[in-house]
Amino acid sequence: MSDTRSGFVTFVGRPNVGKSTLTNALVGEKVAITSDKPQTTRRAIRGIVNRPGGQLVVVDTPGIHRPRTLLGQRLNDLVEQVLGDVDVIAFCAPATEKVGPGDRRIAESLSGYPRAKKIALVTKTDAATREQITERLIEVDALREDWAAVIPLSAVTRDQLDVLSDELLALMPEGPALYPDDVVTDESLEDRIAEIIREAALDGVRDELPHSIAVTIEDVAPREDSDLTDVFANIVVERDSQKAIIIGHKGSRLASVGARARQGIEPLVGGRVYLSLHVRVAKEWQRDPKQLGRLGF
């Protein structure tokens, strides 16, 4: 028998309960972008956590929501697929907000995945009072009778993260590590760069625009006889009016998006980056199966 354990865990909950922040905190490195915009996460991103007793593969997924577009439906389908494959599902509810109908609906839906063990997490305890945390623990505990554990924690202050890791590992099947111990994610460099650019583009935009932004990478190449890496990328939006917002007055907003994105890309490529960003319009791409396919959804 193996004395190590390894397996897959995913966090579920309404959009914005802190799933991506928690993924990054557990991995110890930024593998998933974060934003205060709902449905920021658009793919199943795997982060690898190595512990003395084994390995956890954290699958960060989009928040479960009522879809209004074909993209939204595909994101929900992706969550369904991940939930059917993982060993542990961790339901997240923020300590700062009362448990509501959306939380109850998601918690009830977990019965559709009998293979996975379930735990409940009360997140964002750093932003809550002791009374709020106690109240939330009682509310969350009552959502299901089969929680293997209910854990309050903060990804920001790292409070109780070790408790969570140990609890998750104990619930995993016995077996060897699934990834080499120097790997933090199986995302490609191009995908990680695209996400960093999208995160920078999301900052400060409002209304429907966050949902309309996608990023494609044309090329990532080290420049000959230089320590520079050239990155050519497109920011894709759905309408000309959105293109104007992203570019900003005399290109000012696009320049700040580029500067912010470069800060995140340079540590990834291990040197200075020349980032060329172009904004292009793909009309109503969230509703168009062909466009979605081209953009990787």
Annotated ligand binding at 175? The verdict is no
- The pLDDT assigned to 79 comes to 83
Would the CATH topology of 5-171 be identical to that of 189-294?
Answer: no
Annotated ligand binding at 23? The verdict is no
Annotated ligand binding at 276? The verdict is no
Annotated ligand binding at 61? The verdict is yes
Annotated ligand binding at 16? The verdict is yes
Q: Which residue has the tokens 């420049």?
A: 223
Annotated ligand binding at 13? The verdict is yes
Annotated ligand binding at 76? The verdict is no
Annotated ligand binding at 41? The verdict is no
- The pLDDT assigned to 1 comes to 45
- State the Cα torsion 193-195-201-206 to the nearest 10°: 180
CA distance between the termini of the chain: 40
CATH of 5-171, one of 3.40.47.10, 3.40.50.620, 3.30.70.100, 3.40.50.300: 3.40.50.300
Annotated ligand binding at 222? The verdict is no
CATH code linked to domain 189-294: 3.30.300.20
Q: How do the domains of the chain map onto residue ranges?
A: 5-171, 189-294
Annotated ligand binding at 154? The verdict is no
DSSP per position, the chain = --S-EEEEEEEE-STTSSHHHHHHHHHTS--S---SSTT---S-EEEEEEETTEEEEEEE-PPP----SHHHHHHHHHHHHHHHH-SEEEEEEETTS---HHHHHHHHHGGG-TTSEEEEEEE-GGGS-HHHHHHHHHHHHTT-S--S-EEE--TTT-TTHHHHHHHHHHHSPB---SS-TT-SB---HHHHHHHHHHHHHHTT--TTHHHH-EEEEEEEEEPTTSS-EEEEEEEEESSHHHHHHHH-GGGHHHHHHHHHHHHHHHHHHTS-EEEEEEEEE-TTGGG-HHHHHHTT-
| Rounded CA separation 231/192 (Å) | 12
Name, in order, each residue with C-beta under 8 angstroms of 292's C-beta and a sequence gap of 6 or more. Answer: 70, 71, 74, 285, 286
Conformational region of residue 248, where left means phi above 0, alpha means psi within -120 to 50, and beta covers everything else: left
Annotated ligand binding at 12? The verdict is no
Annotated ligand binding at 162? The verdict is no
Annotated ligand binding at 112? The verdict is no
Question: Which amino acid is residue 39, in one-letter code?
Answer: Q
Q: What is the pLDDT along the chain (297 residues), one digit of tens a residue?
A: 458 999 999 999 887 788 889 999 999 988 887 776 666 777 778 899 999 899 999 998 877 777 788 888 888 888 888 888 999 999 999 999 999 999 999 999 999 999 999 999 999 999 999 999 999 999 999 999 999 999 999 999 999 999 999 999 999 999 999 999 888 888 889 989 998 999 899 887 776 677 888 999 999 999 988 889 999 999 999 999 999 999 999 999 999 999 999 999 999 899 999 999 999 999 988 888 898 888 877
Orientation of helix 240-247 relative to helix 252-269, angle to 10°: 70
Annotated ligand binding at 123? The verdict is yes
